[in-house]
């Protein structure tokens, strides 16, 4: 074990040195995004008056309404709906889809098979109660071609009945690259050339602040995401957001509450300070998570595991997948990450059936906020090729410590 420790320590130092250039580039992005958030908060004169809880109908809740405006400006939207009443990212996405789509409409996913939990929302291949399919919304999809959007086939698939196109920015549980905003520019152009009235929706989960621009600047009409991922900065206790064109955001609001009430009701159930402060630190926290991902790729490629993306590849999300090849290693890796967590370090993760997921999932999440994947977390569906998906990290230092430990555990095994 001591030789393994020494070897891994050497590889850790090498990995940190090899990542230096990327770390610097990531810091520049964080600098630009912090400047943007700061300017927007100053413009809206954020003050202690916005940091409160409210109750009842919460008409004219100043903290809530100003937070909507701050998010809208930061994300480049006409309007945003930021709510702790969204129970998760999936809920925010579903509110946008159900709000915009009507029976007889068609929705086309142009980045292949959508993220696991969205499959039940769509009624993808197993019937789910209350799915879009049950409401008579038709679904079609254009697979990726070599991991990239297939622009020619997107133009063919989008027709007069296509009300909305879905784009997933992040890799999700797959090894394809995340889309960059430059990729999204091309997708939007292809969609609009086929049907100028078709709205482009981007599932922005894990993408926020990884670049200096967000998908709305790339031509998307509406985006949604989770507050216990990137834009909550690890401080938001729950929630999600929808942002984009005002008419479309209003439709999502009519679905979250009801027609007529929209975004004008909804108490601030947690101290709004947590949401403002979370957004303020989010660019920095995302930068730490990105550096952790680069470090993971550098370290585990030195141990001869395949990594997605490769260490030096450009990133459009905070996820780092590692090809561990066997279920045993998958479980060991997740347990090692859990052991090095600040919370529940004594718990041993087991694969289990999670709501919305087709395969058993193993999840290491020793997090302060339950399931928050902007905190260091590792999870994997128990299915070949047994890739683990690693993301988050409130501090880069913690990620380095935890991954070095995971590498030691996996290598000790090989030595047996
Ligand atoms: C996390 C995620 C979602 C939403 O998941 P929740 O767990 O419901 O917040 C949707 N799409 C992608 C790509 C995601 O990563």
Rounded Cα distance, 178 and 243, in Å: 20
Q: Is residue 223 within a helix (H) or strand (E), and if so which, with residue range?
A: strand 222-226
Distance 401 CA to ligand 1 centre (A): 26
pLDDT surpasses 60 at 82: yes
* pLDDT score, position 126: 72
Mean pLDDT of the chain: 95
* pLDDT score, position 345: 97
361 forms beta bridges with: 352, 381
Locate the ligand 1 atom nearest the alpha carbon of residue 89 and give its number: 9
Mean pLDDT of 43-57: 97
The pick from 92, 172, 316, 372 for probing ligand 1's pocket by mutation, whose C-beta has the most ligand atoms within 8 angstroms, reads 172
pLDDT surpasses 90 at 125: no
Q: Is residue 402 within a helix (H) or strand (E), and if so which, with residue range?
A: helix 396-415
Share of the chain above pLDDT 90, in %: 91
* pLDDT score, position 189: 98
pLDDT surpasses 60 at 261: yes
Helix, strand, coil percent content, the chain, rounded in steps of 5: 45, 15, 40
* pLDDT score, position 414: 66
Q: Count CA within 13 A, CB hemisphere, residue 76.
A: 16
Q: Which two tokens stand for residue 84?
A: 């702790």
Residue 88 beta carbon below 6 angstroms from any ligand 1 atom: yes
Mean pLDDT of 227-231: 98
Mean pLDDT of 263-271: 96
Q: 332-386 pLDDT, tens per residue?
A: 999 999 999 999 999 999 999 887 777 899 999 999 999 999 999 999 989 999 9
Q: Which two tokens stand for residue 142?
A: 């254009």
Q: 386-411 pLDDT, tens per residue?
A: 999 999 999 999 999 999 999 999 99
Residue 205 beta carbon below 6 angstroms from any ligand 1 atom: yes
Rounded Cα distance, 178 and 300, in Å: 20
pLDDT surpasses 80 at 314: yes
Residue 206 beta carbon below 6 angstroms from any ligand 1 atom: yes
Distance 80 CA to ligand 1 centre (A): 18
Which range, of 136-145, 172-181, 193-202, 219-228, averages the lowest pLDDT?
172-181
156 pLDDT tier (thresholds 50, 70, 90) = very high
Distance 154 CA to ligand 1 centre (A): 23
Mean pLDDT of 164-174: 94
Q: Which two tokens stand for residue 27?
A: 């810091």
In the block, tokens 């409130």 appear at: 394
Residue 172 beta carbon below 6 angstroms from any ligand 1 atom: yes
pTM of the model: 0.96
The total of other beta-carbon atoms located within 10 Å of residue 58's CB is: 17
pLDDT surpasses 80 at 2: no
Question: Which residue's CA is the closest to the ligand 1 atom numbered 12?
Answer: 205
Cα distances (angstroms) measured from residue 58 to each of 236, 267, 268, 396: 20, 5, 8, 39
What is residue 180's DSSP assignment? P
Distance 414 CA to ligand 1 centre (A): 34
Distance 277 CA to ligand 1 centre (A): 22
Distance 89 CA to ligand 1 centre (A): 5
pLDDT surpasses 60 at 181: yes
Question: How does DSSP assign 48-70, residue by residue?
Answer: GGG-----TT-TT-HHHHHHHHH
237 pLDDT tier (thresholds 50, 70, 90) = very high
252 pLDDT tier (thresholds 50, 70, 90) = very high
Mean pLDDT of 287-298: 98
Distance 91 CA to ligand 1 centre (A): 9
pLDDT surpasses 90 at 72: yes
* pLDDT score, position 307: 97
Please, what's the b/e burial string for 351-379 (b: 16 or more CB within 10 A of its CB; e: otherwise)? beebeebeeebbbbbbbebeebbbbbbbb
């Amino acid at each position: 074990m001591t030789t393994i420790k020494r070897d891994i320590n050497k590889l850790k130092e090498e990995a940190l040195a090899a990542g230096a250039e990327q770390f610097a580039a990531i810091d520049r992005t964080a600098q630009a995004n912090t400047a943007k958030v700061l300017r927007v908060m100053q413009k809206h004169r954020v003050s202690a008056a916005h940091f409160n809880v409210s109750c009842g109908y919460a008409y004219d809740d100043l903290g809530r309404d100003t937070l909507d405006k701050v998010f809208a400006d930061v994300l480049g939207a006409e309007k945003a709906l930021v709510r702790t009443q969204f129970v998760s990212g999936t809920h925010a996405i579903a509110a946008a889809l159900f709000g915009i789509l009507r029976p007889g409409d068609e929705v086309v996913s142009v980045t292949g098979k959508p993220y696991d939990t969205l499959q039940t929302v769509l009624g993808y291949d197993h019937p789910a109660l209350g799915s879009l399919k049950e409401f008579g919304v038709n679904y079609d999809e254009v697979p990726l071609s070599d991991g990239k959007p297939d622009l020619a086939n997107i133009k063919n698939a989008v027709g007069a009945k296509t009300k909305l196109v879905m784009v997933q920015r992040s890799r999700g549980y797959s090894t394809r690259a995340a889309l960059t905003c430059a990729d999204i520019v091309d997708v939007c152009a292809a969609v609009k050339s086929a049907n100028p009235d078709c709205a482009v929706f981007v599932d922005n989960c894990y993408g926020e602040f990884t670049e200096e621009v967000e998908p709305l600047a790339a031509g998307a009409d509406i985006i949604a995401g989770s507050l216990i991922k990137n834009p909550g900065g690890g401080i938001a206790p729950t929630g999600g957001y929808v942002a984009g064109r005002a008419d479309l955001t209003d439709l999502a609001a009519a679905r979250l509450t009801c027609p007529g009430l929209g975004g004008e009701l909804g108490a601030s159930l947690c101290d709004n300070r947590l949401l403002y402060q979370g957004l303020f630190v989010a660019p920095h926290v995302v930068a730490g998570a990105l550096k952790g991902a680069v470090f993971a790729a550098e370290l585990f490629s030195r141990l001869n595991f395949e990594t997605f993306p490769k260490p030096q590849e450009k990133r459009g999300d905070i996820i780092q997948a590692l090809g561990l090849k066997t279920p045993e290693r998958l479980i060991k890796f997740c347990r090692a990450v859990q052991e090095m967590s600040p919370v529940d370090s004594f718990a041993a993760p087991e694969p289990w059936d999670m709501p919305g997921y087709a395969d058993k999932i193993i999840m290491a999440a020793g997090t302060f906020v339950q399931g928050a994947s902007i905190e260091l977390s590792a999870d994997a569906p128990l299915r070949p090729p047994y890739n683990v998906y690693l993301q988050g990290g409130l501090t880069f230092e913690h990620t380095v410590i935890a991954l070095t430990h995971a590498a030691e555990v996996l290598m000790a095994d090989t030595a047996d």
